[in-house]
Amino acid sequence: MDDAKRTEIEAAAFRRMVSHFRERTDVQNIDLMDLAGFCRNCLSKWYRAEAEDRGEEISYDEAREIVYGMPYSDWKAKHQTEQPKDRVEAFNREHNH
């Protein structure tokens, strides 16, 4: 497989993952972090970092809009659920937040 084809396949897989995240609004970021060690916000940060490594300026909010499919504040208002305080505290201890 040549580099161009590999990049095309990787880009398609990325788009499929983003589409899946957009459809699975029932899955909260804290759930993703607990199970996979990354979430939509992590993916947004990676997107921004890779863009900047290639000389493209993009804000964190712009990157999150690419991943979430809408402004983060809109997604949060529509889909984010309140988590039990003890779960958030445990998460913050584990992930040094």
Query: What does residue 9 show for φ and ψ, rounded to 5 degrees?
Result: -70, -45
Can you give the residue range of the structural domain that contains 21? 3-95
Q: Domain of 15: which CATH number?
A: 1.10.3340.10
- What residue type is assigned to position 62 of the chain? E
As for how many domains the chain has, the answer is: 1
Q: Can you give the pLDDT at residue 88?
A: 81
Q: Can you give the pLDDT at residue 6?
A: 97
pLDDT tens digits in sequence order for the chain, 97 residues long: 999 999 999 999 999 999 999 999 999 999 999 899 899 999 999 999 999 999 999 999 999 999 999 999 999 999 999 888 888 888 878 776 5
Q: What is the DSSP letter of 96?
A: T
